[in-house]
Amino acid sequence: MAKQIKVIKCPNCGSVNKTELKPHFYKCSACETEYFLDDDDVNINYNHNYNHNNPFNTNQKAIKVIAIVLGSIFFLVLLLNILTSIFSSKRSSNNYSAYSGATTREEDQGYYTSRYSNISFLQNSGQPVIIILENRRYKSNTNEPKDGTYLAFYNPIKKELIKAEKVSDKSLSSSDFKFKLFSDGHIYMVKDKASLLKLDKENLKIEDVGKKFFEANNELQIGVATMEFVYSDNGDGLVILTNDGKKRYYYPLIQKLYTEKEFYEANNGFDTLLPNAKDKTIYFFTSESSDYPDEKLQLIQLTYKDNGGGPKDITDRLRWSKDYGGSGIFTDRDPYRKVLVGRWEKDRGRVLSWKDVTPDRLYFAPSVLIGEAENLIIQFRADANQKSPFKLQKVNKDNGAVEWTTSLPDGAGIESLIKYKDGFTGVNDRDQIIVIDNKGNITSNYKLD
């Protein structure tokens, strides 16, 4: 039978390009498929015997390798991000504080903190609490609304942050936010010269009491433009500027308002004492004297008539001076007496008596930290070197005997100290909270990072 003429195409890819391997046997030049012709009917048969070096297979392998490499890189990046997040969270938690807080760090990696003034008190349970004024700036923009000034409440015995309450969106320093312990035992605060606040010690809440106090006086119902505490020596008063521009001195515990002249008349002298005035004893160190520069500093016990919640001018800064017996211009040729408490100081401060508790001792950079009940705790340097570390000492108030002495760590000086049932606690000038037992042993000293 005669053969039919047909175009021979690759049965796999359809290409007509081919190479004859032997009679009637061919190899496709495109996909390298081998096929042969059946002479009887010119059927085309092919063999799936691919060459493993063909470009298509090679490309597939390359794609697989690239996919594996890219997948591995993606997995490593993901793993590194997870580990970084875990360790950053730990670092953020460690940088927060030496205390375990009642509040936890945010997912924003925390905040930067600046600390200012502090004040301490005891709750009814006997637990001490230290309030620290803190400025916080959060590291994440998502928490920017949280930036501002906070009152942070710390329990130094349990070593924890109990609570933090935001008091202002602005950054306030100790000059903008002031604490003061009034004679009624409550802690009052003046915020930004605009608000009078009172602390609820048990619930650790802040109450605005300005309206209640000011409305009790008819003259103040016009409104208060600014306010600030009087000097610490002058008691529980406020210096007020009313909305109509009048300067007044207001003592809220007795609800009395004074003009400037009336205030200076009421804060000194025995004739202006209120009916509930009582004897009170305080302790302090004398100041350096310009008249007698070689006179040593003395630890003074002074008893005076305290005016309760009313105006006063406490005598707690004394120095040896020359008393010429009156006012005027004098020279060393004029007669004088060497005095520590003259007639003017006695009347001004309503002084009843005073004495040197430790007449034979020499002090350098001394201060009284506690002087109440049976506890007289002082702080001083061991010698005249200003780099010498501070020491803490308990002194017997009756005979001046030293009951214990403690060297403060790292030379830090204590800014405030209170007594609680098991000892003493306070804050030093390096943002450390210190705890001392009744025998003078330092039991803990925590840094607020």
pLDDT 10s digits, 223-276: 999 999 999 999 999 999 999 999 999 999 999 999 999 999 999 999 999 999
Tell me how far CA of residue 156 lies from CA of 349, 405, 447, in angstroms: 36, 22, 11
Q: Give pLDDT tens digits for 86-108.
A: 544 433 333 333 443 434 444 55
Q: Of all residues in the chain, what percent carry a pLDDT higher than 90? A: 65
- The answer to the question of residue 38 being in a domain is yes
Cα–Cα distance for residue pair 322/336, rounded to 1 Å: 6
Is 6 a residue whose pLDDT tops 50? Answer: yes
Distance CA 345, CA 149 (A): 41
| Together in a domain, 35 and 64 | no
Task: Check: CB of residue 297 under 8 Å from CB of residue 286.
Answer: yes
Q: Kindly state whether residues 41 and 81 are assigned to the same domain.
A: no
With bands split at pLDDT 50, 70 and 90, how would you rate the model's confidence at 31? confident
Are 42 and 63 within one domain? Answer: no
**Is 384 domain-assigned?**
no
pLDDT mean across residues, the chain: 85
42 and 9, same structural domain?
yes
pLDDT of residue 448: 85
pLDDT tens digit string along 50-72?
Answer: 444 444 444 555 566 566 766 66
- The rounded percent of the chain whose pLDDT value lies above 70 is 80
Domain containing 67: what range? 58-94
**SS3 category, 320:** coil
Of 215, 219, 224, 218, give the one whose Cα is nearest residue 191: 224
pLDDT computed for residue 83 by the predictor: 59
Check: CB of residue 170 under 8 Å from CB of residue 196: no
Within a domain: 286: no
Chosen domain end from 94, 115, 149:
94
Q: Is residue 233 part of a domain?
A: no
Per-residue model confidence as pLDDT tens digits over 187-220: 999 999 999 999 999 999 999 999 999 988 989 9
Q: What is the mean pLDDT of residues 329-353?
A: 88
**Which residues, in sequence order, are CB contacts of 274 under 8 Å at separation 6+?**
254, 307, 308, 310
Range name among 74-78, 249-253, 347-351, 373-377 with the lowest pLDDT average: 74-78
With a CB cutoff of 8 Å and minimum separation 6, the contacts of 303 are 279, 280, 281, 351, 352, 353, 354
Same domain as 70, residue 46 = no
Place of tokens 């000086």: 413
The predicted structure's pLDDT at residue 18:
73
- Among 33, 66, 94, which residue terminates a domain? 94
Could you tell me if 445 and 432 are in contact, meaning their C-beta atoms sit under 8 angstroms apart?
yes
Say if residue 109's pLDDT is above 90.
no
3-state secondary structure of 85: helix
Percent of residues in the chain assigned helix, strand, coil, to nearest 5: 20, 40, 40
Rounded to two decimals, the pTM is 0.74
- Indicate whether 89 belongs to any domain: yes
Residue 243 lies in a domain: no
Chain segment 283-292, per-residue pLDDT in tens: 999 999 999 9
Domain assignment present for 80:
yes
In the structure encoding, which two tokens stand for residue 44, read together? 């085309």
Same domain, 5 and 46: yes
pLDDT number for residue 331: 72
Instruction: Specify whether 64 is located in the same domain as 37.
Output: no
Burial of 332 (0-12, 13-18, 19+ CB in 10 A): exposed
Counted domains in the chain: 2
Q: Are strands 160-168 and 100-101 parallel, antiparallel or unpaired?
A: parallel
* Statement to judge: residues 46 and 3 lie in one domain: yes
Q: What is the pLDDT of residue 99?
A: 45
Residues 13 and 39 in one domain: yes
Choose between 282 and 325: higher pLDDT: 282
The 10s digit of each residue's pLDDT in 177-188 is: 999 999 999 999
Residue 19 in any domain: the answer is yes
Mean pLDDT of 287-307: 96
